[in-house]
Each structure stands twice: as structure tokens, then as C-alpha cells.
Amino acid sequence: MSKPKSPIILIFICTVAALGGFLFGYDTGVINGTQFYFSKYFELSAAVKGWVVGSALIGCLFGAILSGPISRAFGRKNSLILSALLFTMSAWGSGLPSMLPESVTLLVFFRIIGGLGIGIASMNAPVYIAELTPAQIRGKMVTIYQMAIVLGFFIVFIVTYFIGSSQDETYNLEYGWRIMFWSELVPCILFFSLLFLAPKSPRWLLLKGREEEAAKVLNRIHGHEMAIDELQEIKQSIHHEGGLPLKDVLRKSVFPIVLIGSVLSILQQFTGINAVLYYGADIFEKALGFGQEDVLAQQILLAGVNVAFTILAMFTVDTWGRKPLIITGSIGMLLGFAMLGITLMTNQVGLISLIGILMFIGSFAMSMGPVVWVVLSEMFPNSIRSIGMSIAVAAQWGSNYLVSQSFPVVVESEMNNSVFWSGSLPYFLFMVFIGSIIWFTIKYVPETKGRTLEAMEKIWDQKYGSI
């Protein structure tokens, strides 16, 4: 297959779309830097603090559910513009409670608004990238989205540190945490502005009967010869798209595909990744005896490993393939948590524990982190891509919320703190789910490397029948 006519244009488009992932990471991470101060400002109980921190995940869930209908009606690009507006509203509004009567409800409201933006962007950004990218480099391009997420985490940790360290605690309790929230306005405005320079998805344009516009987009990116072939493949594959009712998801030819994507999404969260990222400071303090003054170093260390191994995934996903990366990364995650769990059980915490945590983070970053987004963006036939992706991403956010809320409960349980487990129970539970990823991937997940989106539809037709 020939290469794209204009790789610079393609890289620009994918980078702009991936800013939605950057804001995903930034908006999720900014709560870690601000919660220390606003918790004191509002004098929050532990339960209310957990609700404020986790409230955005509720918005993520509903944003993902709504993202399918919104994407079909208005297109991937316009859906991303909507998410940019929601991110901007959340960043601006989250800092307002310190200027208005003390209202935790107002803060939660704007956190949920930001969650809606994350939910919409997390479905539309990887799909938009996949629909504009040739098969032979699609994995690398979609992985840019995951790279943007981890960069968002990394950058926000640094930004909140410098904002917090530049003033004393009294100032930060009154104003500092508000400025931390408002710092997100910079990437929000950049994302919103650059989206107007990006084209609409050619698949969505053809779905709406705008063939001439679709041809221009494909020709601009891929060149005339490649654009003609791509246009014909898309036209042949979208004869059902847009007309599939929600109830038809239960059809024999559709349900297995949606179920595979949803289970893969759920298993991504049941690796325990967000338990480590959200409660990393507590894990380090428990496992290694680090003090609260080392929280920044811990966060930057985790985020740095995350970035490094996501880069590794970018350069291997289109050569190794999707399934080998998932399986290799899952083995690494198992070894990492085994090292952490065993050192906790035997009261031998130390360097091995640290290596275990970092091995887990690195293994996730090269496998289930980016590759799940790649597979989801590629596996759904055009006829069910919007609704299938929406359901899978909603399942992912629901699982994220479940893990995030249940992890501290398990950590503080009597069983976990018994002489036998000694704080290791949650990591062994996560290992059970990680082991199931290997089995599930081998048995059910298709290899999508190098296949056009239309070729994937033919594979599903042969396996489960025509949609």
C-alpha cells in the first residue's frame, strides 16, 4: 500500500485530535494537585472528599454513553469541538467556589461537566484518528492519543507543583488550587482553536451523502490514487451505517463484537492501573515508607515511566502487532504486581517493591494502555462503530469508577490487613484479572494490524454473519 501523500498534514490532524487525550490526562490529574488544598478549604470529610475526586468519572460514563448518538448526528470533529467547550467550562468553573459562597456542590457540578468532555473525547478522538489514517501506520497514529493522555498527567503534576510551591500554604488554600484548575484553560483554548483547522472524517461525510467533500479530504491526505481506493472501500462498507437502532446491538451478528470490545475495555481498568495512578502516593507510603513530602517525586516517577513505555508502544504497535503487545505487557504486569505483593506479604518492602510498581506501570503503558484504544478504534465495522465504541468506552468508565471506589475499601479491609495478606490482597486480585486478559486476547481479540477498517468488517461477517 502506498504512503500518505502528506504525512505532515496527517500528523497535524492526529496531534490536534490527540489534544483531547491530553486534556483527558490533564483534567484527571489536576484533581490530585488541588484536592489537598480544597479539602482543607472546605473542611471535607473523607467520604465527601472521595465524592468530589471521583465525581468526574460519573460525567465520563454519561459522556461516553452520549458520545455515540452525538458522533453519528454531528460528526467526529464537531463532537470534539463540543468536548473542548465542556473542558473549558469545567476548568473555568472548578475554580469559582473559592470566589462564591462555599459550595462543594458547585465544584462537583463543574467536575462532572469536565467528565462529560472526557467521555465524549475518549470515544471520538481515537475513532477520528483511525478514520483518517492508512492501515499501515494507524496503530502508531492512534497511540499518539494515549501518549497525549500520559503527557497530560505528567505536565499537570509539574504545573501544580510550581503553582503550589511558589506561594505559602495560606495563599494556596485561598487561591492556589483555583489557579491550578484555571491552568487547564491554556490547552483547552488551544484544542478548541486548532480543531477548526482539521477536516471532517471522510467516513462521516460519506454517511451524510457528501461524497465530494469526502473525496477532497482523502485526496489531500492520501493522494489521488490511494484516495480513490479508500473512497470505494468506504462506500461499500457504510450502506448500513446510521440506520442501526440500539436494540439491534443484541443481534447475533452484532452483540459478540460489542461484547468483545466492552470486555477488553473493562479488563483494561481491572488491571488496577487507575488504583495505582489515583492512590499512588498512598501505595508508595505504605510499600516504601515514603513521606508526604515525597508525593511530587512519586507522581513524576510514575508519570515518567508511563511516558517512556508509551513511546515504546508507539514504535512497536505497527510492527509487533496488537495481540503480541497485549500479551507481553500482561506478563510484565503480572510479574510487577507479584514482586510488590510478595514483598508486602513477607514484610520485605524496599527496592524490589519499587521495581514491581514501576514494572507494572511500564508494562501497562506499552500494552493495555495504548493498544486497547487502537483495537477499539479499528475493530468495529462502520455500521456499528459509533454505537459499539460508545458502549465499550462507557463500560470502561463504569469499571474505572468501580475500581477507584472499591480499591480503598479493600485496602482498609480486615482481610487485607491480616497477618497473612499484610496489605497485598488488592494486587493479587488484580493479578487474577490480568491473567484473564491473556486468555481473552488469545481466544477472542482479532489482530487488526495492517488491516483496513473495511477489511475488519469482512472478518466479522465471516465469523458472526453479515451485519
Question: Residues 140-158: pLDDT tens digits?
Answer: 888 888 889 989 988 988 8
Same fold, 1-198 and 243-467: yes
Q: H or E element: which one contains 440?
A: helix 425-444
Q: CA 42, 29, 123, 204 torsion: positive or negative?
A: positive
Query: Coil, strand or helix: which one is 137?
Result: helix
Domain boundaries of the chain, sorted by first residue: 1-198, 243-467
Q: What is the DSSP letter of 350?
A: S
Q: What angle do CA 223, 14, 22 make, to 5 degrees?
A: 175
Homologous superfamily of 1-198 in CATH? Answer: MFS general substrate transporter like domains (1.20.1250.20)
Question: Residues 343-387: pLDDT tens digits?
Answer: 999 988 888 888 999 999 999 999 999 999 999 988 988 778 878
What is d(CA 402, CA 391) in angstroms, rounded to the nearest whole number? 16
What does the pLDDT read at residue 168? 81
For residues 341 and 424, the answer to whether their CB atoms sit within 8 Å is yes
For residues 232 and 203, the answer to whether their CB atoms sit within 8 Å is no
For residues 269 and 400, the answer to whether their CB atoms sit within 8 Å is yes
What does the pLDDT read at residue 452? 79
Q: Does domain 243-467 have CATH number 1.20.1250.20?
A: yes
What does the pLDDT read at residue 209? 86
For residues 308 and 156, the answer to whether their CB atoms sit within 8 Å is no
What does the pLDDT read at residue 1? 45
Which residue is listed with cell 512497536? 316
CA atoms within 13 A on the CB side of 399: 20
Which residue numbers in the chain have pLDDT < 70? 1-6, 46, 98-102, 237-247, 278-299, 467
What does the pLDDT read at residue 98? 59
What does the pLDDT read at residue 238? 66
Which residue is listed with cell 482498609? 412
Q: With 0-12 CB in 10 A as exposed, 13-18 as middle and 19+ as buried, what is 315?
A: exposed
CA atoms within 13 A on the CB side of 2: 14
What is d(CA 113, CA 108) in angstroms, rounded to the nearest whole number? 9
Cα→Cα distances 143→140, 232, 267, 369, Å: 5, 27, 19, 9
Of 69, 68, 15, 452, which Cα lies nearest the Cα of 198?
Answer: 15
What is d(CA 405, CA 411) in angstroms, rounded to the nearest whole number? 11
